[in-house]
Amino acid sequence: MDYNQAQQRVHDLKKFYKSVLWFGIIAFIFFFDDIFEKGVFNFSLWDGSIILTIWGIILTVKAVKLFIFDAEWERSIIEKEMKNTKKPIQF
Protein backbone atom coordinates (compact mmCIF):
# COMPACT_ATOMS: atom_id res chain seq x y z
CA MET A 1 0.00 0.00 0.00
CA ASP A 2 1.51 3.31 -1.01
CA TYR A 3 1.15 6.65 0.74
CA ASN A 4 -1.81 7.86 -1.34
CA GLN A 5 -3.79 4.66 -0.74
CA ALA A 6 -3.03 4.82 2.99
CA GLN A 7 -4.06 8.46 3.13
CA GLN A 8 -7.33 7.70 1.31
CA ARG A 9 -8.04 4.76 3.63
CA VAL A 10 -7.48 6.93 6.71
CA HIS A 11 -9.80 9.56 5.24
CA ASP A 12 -12.48 6.93 4.54
CA LEU A 13 -12.13 5.47 8.05
CA LYS A 14 -12.44 8.92 9.62
CA LYS A 15 -15.55 9.66 7.55
CA PHE A 16 -17.08 6.27 8.45
CA TYR A 17 -16.45 6.68 12.18
CA LYS A 18 -18.01 10.17 12.11
CA SER A 19 -21.09 8.69 10.42
CA VAL A 20 -21.34 5.96 13.06
CA LEU A 21 -20.99 8.52 15.84
CA TRP A 22 -23.77 10.69 14.38
CA PHE A 23 -25.94 7.61 13.88
CA GLY A 24 -25.48 6.68 17.54
CA ILE A 25 -26.32 10.17 18.75
CA ILE A 26 -29.47 10.44 16.60
CA ALA A 27 -30.59 6.90 17.50
CA PHE A 28 -30.11 7.67 21.19
CA ILE A 29 -32.25 10.79 20.88
CA PHE A 30 -35.04 9.02 18.94
CA PHE A 31 -35.20 5.89 21.11
CA PHE A 32 -35.03 7.56 24.49
CA ASP A 33 -37.46 10.27 23.44
CA ASP A 34 -40.01 7.54 22.64
CA ILE A 35 -39.35 5.72 25.90
CA PHE A 36 -39.69 8.86 28.02
CA GLU A 37 -42.80 10.09 26.19
CA LYS A 38 -44.76 6.87 25.66
CA GLY A 39 -43.08 4.37 27.93
CA VAL A 40 -42.52 1.91 25.07
CA PHE A 41 -40.70 1.88 21.76
CA ASN A 42 -43.03 2.48 18.83
CA PHE A 43 -41.78 1.48 15.35
CA SER A 44 -43.16 4.25 13.17
CA LEU A 45 -42.06 6.09 10.04
CA TRP A 46 -42.77 9.49 11.53
CA ASP A 47 -40.78 8.86 14.71
CA GLY A 48 -37.64 8.22 12.70
CA SER A 49 -37.37 4.45 13.10
CA ILE A 50 -37.53 3.73 9.38
CA ILE A 51 -35.01 6.47 8.71
CA LEU A 52 -32.65 4.95 11.28
CA THR A 53 -33.14 1.51 9.73
CA ILE A 54 -32.23 2.77 6.26
CA TRP A 55 -29.30 4.74 7.67
CA GLY A 56 -28.13 1.60 9.51
CA ILE A 57 -28.28 -0.46 6.31
CA ILE A 58 -26.24 2.18 4.47
CA LEU A 59 -23.65 2.19 7.27
CA THR A 60 -23.49 -1.61 7.14
CA VAL A 61 -22.82 -1.56 3.41
CA LYS A 62 -20.10 1.07 3.91
CA ALA A 63 -18.53 -1.02 6.69
CA VAL A 64 -18.44 -4.13 4.50
CA LYS A 65 -16.84 -2.14 1.70
CA LEU A 66 -14.33 -0.53 4.05
CA PHE A 67 -13.33 -3.50 6.21
CA ILE A 68 -13.97 -6.62 4.11
CA PHE A 69 -13.58 -5.59 0.47
CA ASP A 70 -10.56 -3.36 0.99
CA ALA A 71 -7.40 -2.94 -1.12
CA GLU A 72 -5.77 -6.05 0.37
CA TRP A 73 -8.74 -8.19 -0.64
CA GLU A 74 -8.75 -6.69 -4.12
CA ARG A 75 -5.02 -7.30 -4.54
CA SER A 76 -5.32 -10.92 -3.41
CA ILE A 77 -8.19 -11.57 -5.84
CA ILE A 78 -6.22 -10.00 -8.71
CA GLU A 79 -3.20 -12.18 -7.89
CA LYS A 80 -5.42 -15.27 -7.69
CA GLU A 81 -6.99 -14.52 -11.07
CA MET A 82 -3.60 -13.87 -12.63
CA LYS A 83 -2.37 -17.27 -11.39
CA ASN A 84 -5.47 -18.97 -12.81
CA THR A 85 -5.01 -17.48 -16.26
CA LYS A 86 -1.35 -18.51 -16.56
CA LYS A 87 -1.43 -21.91 -18.18
CA PRO A 88 1.66 -23.79 -19.22
CA ILE A 89 2.18 -24.34 -22.92
CA GLN A 90 1.75 -27.99 -23.91
CA PHE A 91 4.03 -29.07 -26.79
Residue 90 lies in a domain: no
Q: How many residues does the chain have?
A: 91
Q: How far is CA 46 from the centre of its chain?
A: 25
Q: Is the pLDDT score of 84 beyond 80?
A: no
Domain encompassing residue 66: 3-85
Question: For 6-65, how does the pLDDT look when each residue is reduced to its tens digit (9 = 90+)?
Answer: 888 899 999 999 999 999 999 888 877 777 776 665 555 556 678 888 999 999 999 998
- Tally of structural domains, the chain: 1
Residue 91 belongs to some domain of the structure:
no
- CA nearest to 63, candidates 7, 1, 12, 2: 12
The pLDDT score that the predictor gives to residue 51 is 84
In this predicted structure, what is the pLDDT of residue 58? 95
